[in-house]
Amino acid sequence: MEIAVHEPIPDGMVEYLSPWAWPKEYHSWNWEGFEGVPLLVSVYSRCDKVILELNNQVIDTINISEFKGLISRINIPYQAGMLTAIGIKEGKRWQEKSYRQPENLFQLRIAPEKEQIVARADDLAYFNVEVMDDLGKLVPDAEVIVSFTIRGKCHLAAVGNSNPQDMKSFQSSTVKTFMGRCQLIVRLSEGEKNITVTAQAQGLKLATTGVQLN
């Protein structure tokens, strides 16, 4: 089961999607400044029905149908707090998914795509970085400047954030997160046994990870 919230559409504008496009939805209930504005919430589930709660108050019960592609959509006026979807299957509580407005950005999280690499000269190691809130959940609208410290016989090959409008060099020493994420690519050298990478951003707890090279 998954729930996603569509980005508010500005007054006077309409969204048109081509057959190859997808709506701009976020796994987030953090829309400060849009209090009282109806937000389109999509529910994706194979449960029989889904109960939606806002700040522990039931606001709707949705019957899920395969004939609708297992997707249901509902407009919910925004208010700060927690949005919860409870999946019911065969009369029992089956799954639960919650999003809340974070109290604050808390830390970075960095993880290698592979913890062990058979390294040859000029091989690459990929590290994914996320901005987390005080509950350890991704903050999908966070945009912070991240810098890196790399230890070991290697060097920065590229940084990226998947933002198609960001024209900054891929080989810059810093990168701004997009939808709460960014990536570091490190070029390896033969003879090194392990490398350590640290990601840091102003006001956030830094994160460190390592990779063993074989």
pLDDT tens per residue, range 69-81: 688 889 999 999 9
Q: Which two tokens stand for residue 118?
A: 């058979």
Q: What is the CATH number of domain 105-213?
A: 2.60.40.10
How would residue 208 be classed by pLDDT, with cut points 50, 70 and 90?
Answer: very high
Sketch the domain layout of the chain as residue ranges.
Answer: 2-100, 105-213
Q: What are phi and psi of 135, to 5 degrees?
A: -105, 5
Residue 198, both tokens: 């640290």
Tell me what the pLDDT averaged over the chain comes to: 88
CATH number of 2-100: 2.60.40.10
What average pLDDT score do residues 115-140 get?
84
pLDDT score of 161: 94
For residue 197, the model assigns a pLDDT of 94
pLDDT at position 102 over 80:
no
Closest CA to 97 of 49, 31, 38, 27: 27
pTM of the model as a whole = 0.75
